[in-house]
A = this chain, B = another copy of it.
Amino acid sequence: MGKEIPARNEDYSLWYNELVKKADLAEHSEVRGCMVIKPYGYSIWEKMQQALDKMFKDTGHSNAYFPLFVPKSLFEAEEKNAEGFAKECAIVTHYRLKTDPEHKGKLMVDPEAKLEEELVVRPTSEAIIWNTYKKWIQSYRDLPILVNQWANVVRWEMRTRLFLRTAEFLWQEGHTAHATADEAVRETVQMLDVYAEFAESFMAMPVIKGRKTDSERFPGAVDTYCIEAMMQDGKALQAGTSHFLGQNFAKAFNVKFTSKEGKLEDVWGTSWGVSTRLMGALIMAHSDDDGLVLPPKLAPIHVVIVPIFKSDEELKKITEKVDQISAALRKQGYAVKFDNRDTHKPGFKFAEWELKGVPVRLAIGPRDLENGTVEVARRDTKEKQVMKLDEVSAAVPRLLDDIQQSIYQRALGYRNEHITKVETYDELKKVLDEKGGFVSAHWDGTPETEAAIKEETKATIRCIPLDVKEEAGKCVYSGKPSNKRVLFARAY
């Protein structure tokens, strides 16, 4: 069939790449580092977008759209942000092509159409947005501004992987402006909670909420919060970030407001984002050697129905039953696919829909017609059961709920087993090499120790968990005193 993918324990990385391609999620394009998101992959992303967009709107945010291009002079205004992204920016320098006099049928950049000021293709939009907010904000009455943007961004990456790291990716970026630091911090934490809720309830992916260390902070932020997930190979993946920007961008772009007390003050800001990277996380969190395992809440197809037939007559009778089941399920809001192709055998179809992660498969053959039954298979556990036809439309919704819970619980179990407390540096290295996962260890709080551990182990501090307990200890690396543990891991 040409649809087999390698086993995870043979080559996890190859398993991932092949799965992404063979399940028709995405592929590489002719443009270095840029991917094509194929229809099936995009339909999962659309489900994510819909769920997130509703959560953003329910928390008072509106969508807007800001330019793709950032003039260099704006880009460089917030110095740390500019430094952070300068090395990976696509730059527009010209605005016209002309026919190449030396090569018939070819075009060349028109040297006379050079821009006076170069334009940076947005790697993130704080600069262009805060430059706009300057016009929108005069008084405390204009605050807060709660805006989100769905957009493409470009960060020139040298080593790319489908969904996980691409030169162009799709994301949403929230950018809010507030009258007080306190309100901005509350917004930052609220959006982190929204992300965690989305990851756990929709993606069925448990996450740890935490704070980044200084060295891992978003360039230009005062504080970066993140959610960290654990993949099946023991590597961590940062699934979303929410930044408290302090007054950094307000100062850089001169965004001030008159307070209730009549004083002119700098505005406080936040920004927060998740991207198509979540697709990579979703795939790696649940899928198995047979293909995708999708949580029902994000599955483009909830139920696939495969008829087992030898004659047109049989297919016709099966179709009548299938139409009833489909109608009953669709009425309840489920997406049902009836795979009645006569060009492929049932076994091929089973494998194909397993590869694509459809949560529930129904199979109906002539004997089922006689007995008034249907075979119901769940994708996550591969369990099958035979059910009465007239029970299906009530049973499938319960089964889908069960699958959603079940894959969450399985991922949670795996994640919890892969948080290991260590007391020494040797233990830390041993766990990273042999078991993987998060390693909970004392750290002395210095960037030097953090850098040394990263250099020696390739593990980074994923976060300082928000729920961390005060606990006296000694840094595993330096032996200096520490009052709390942080989470180390190798990461995507």
Contacts and interface: CB of A to CB of B under 8 A. Distances in A.
A39 interface: yes
The 7 closest A-B pairs by CB, nearest first: A39-B62, A34-B67, A37-B65, A86-B97, A95-B156, A91-B94, A31-B67
A31 B119 contact: yes
B128 A118 contact: no
B91 A93 contact: yes
Nearest to A29: B67
Contacts of A217: none
Interface of A: 27, 29-31, 34-39, 42-43, 45-46, 62-72, 74-76, 79, 82, 86-99, 105-107, 109, 118-121, 128, 131-132, 135, 141, 147, 151-152, 154, 156, 168, 170, 343
A96 B156 contact: yes
25 contacts: A27-B132, A30-B74, A30-B132, A31-B128, A35-B67, A36-B64, A36-B66, A37-B64, A38-B64, A39-B62, A42-B62, A42-B64, A65-B170, A68-B121, A68-B152, A68-B154, A68-B168, A76-B107, A86-B99, A87-B97, A89-B97, A90-B119, A91-B97, A92-B92, A95-B156
Contact of A63 (B29, B46, B99, B147): B46
Contact of A107 (B63, B86, B170): B86
Q: State the number of copies, please.
A: 2
B107 A72 contact: yes
A488 to B, nearest CB: 31
A128 B32 CA distance: 13
A136 B296 CA distance: 28
A63 B82 contact: no
Given A92-B121, A96-B156, A132 B87 contact: no
Contacts of A42: 62-65
A71 B154 CA distance: 15
A72 B46 contact: no
Contacts of A128: 29-31
B107 A82 contact: yes
A163 to B, nearest CB: 12
What secondary structure prevails in chain A residues at the interface with B?
mixed
Contacts of A96: 86-89, 91, 156
Given A95-B90, A95-B91, A170-B65, A70 B31 contact: yes
Nearest to A96: B87
B31 A106 contact: no
Contacts of A141: 343
A46 B63 CA distance: 9
Contacts of A88: 95-96
Contact of A91 (B92, B151, B154): B92
B135 A27 contact: yes
A258 to B, nearest CB: 15
Nearest to A107: B76
Given A72-B107, A86-B97, A36 B91 contact: no
Given A97-B89, A135-B27, A39 B67 contact: no
A67 B154 CA distance: 10
A164 to B, nearest CB: 16
Given A38-B64, A89-B96, A91-B93, 19 more contacts: A27-B132, A30-B67, A36-B132, A37-B65, A39-B64, A39-B147, A43-B62, A43-B63, A45-B65, A68-B121, A72-B97, A82-B107, A86-B99, A90-B95, A92-B92, A93-B94, A96-B156, A141-B343, A152-B152
A95 B89 contact: yes
Contacts of A69: 31, 34, 90, 168
A118 B22 CA distance: 31
A30 B131 CA distance: 8
A367 to B, nearest CB: 31
A197 B75 CA distance: 43
Contacts of A37: 64-65
Given A46-B63, A93-B94, A106-B76, A71 B31 contact: yes
A79 B96 CA distance: 16
A386 B298 CA distance: 48
Contacts of A86: 96-99, 107
A86 B97 CA distance: 5
A481 B71 CA distance: 55
Contacts of A45: 65
A325 B258 CA distance: 37
A97 B120 contact: yes
